Amino acid sequence: MGFREGVVITTSGMLTGGAAIPWAQAVLTEPDSALFLCGHQDEEAPGRALQELADADPGSPRRVHLRDDQGRLVNVDVAASVHTYNLSAHADSNGLRSIIDQVQPSAVMLVHGESGPQALFRSRLNAAGHAVADNRVPWDAETVIPDTRAARARHASRHHGRRRASS
């Protein structure tokens, strides 16, 4: 039994490596699933080949070549629908918060970014009523373990008295 419900946003939007590859291999073979590519796709990237398949006749065989974790080419049959949307891989906290507000997920897990800004973002999400799962434990959709770490306040004297460079 594979991935059956939810949304995964992962790195390597061009499908050239990383966590996106095993997820794509699981999702692409499922006819009731969809894979959304975000942003630009280089001509040589597997993501571009997948985009081109999206417009192909769904009745004809569709296949994309991806690399496995050993770097070997793997042929993946594409039964899922494929779409492209414009989501920057560099969204700021306001952009991410907007998406979370629109999607209204039952829980969010923060897995990227520096600990300080991540803690502040987690605090903002909690204050807005969004459950944030603890990223130090494995994900379990049935039992979300909340991340209760508090964001540390910045020490005022740390920034006080610094001179700004003038140009």
Rounded Cα distance between 58 and 10, Å, is: 26
Q: Indicate the pLDDT class of residue 141, thresholds 50, 70 and 90.
A: confident
- The continuous run of DSSP H or E covering 126 comes out as helix 115-127
- In the chain, what are the domain boundaries? 20-85, 91-153
Cα 114 off chain centre by:
16
pLDDT over 90 for what percent of the chain? 17
pLDDT digits (tens, 9 = 90+) for 22-79: 888 888 888 888 888 877 788 888 888 988 887 777 678 889 999 887 888 889 999 8
Rounded Cα distance between 122 and 17, Å, is: 28
Please say whether the beta carbons of 121 and 149 come within 8 A.
Answer: no
* Residue 1 pLDDT: 44
Instruction: Calculate the alpha carbon distances from 5 to 17, 28, 30, 62, 84 in Å.
Output: 23, 14, 12, 23, 20
Q: Indicate the pLDDT class of residue 163, thresholds 50, 70 and 90.
A: very low
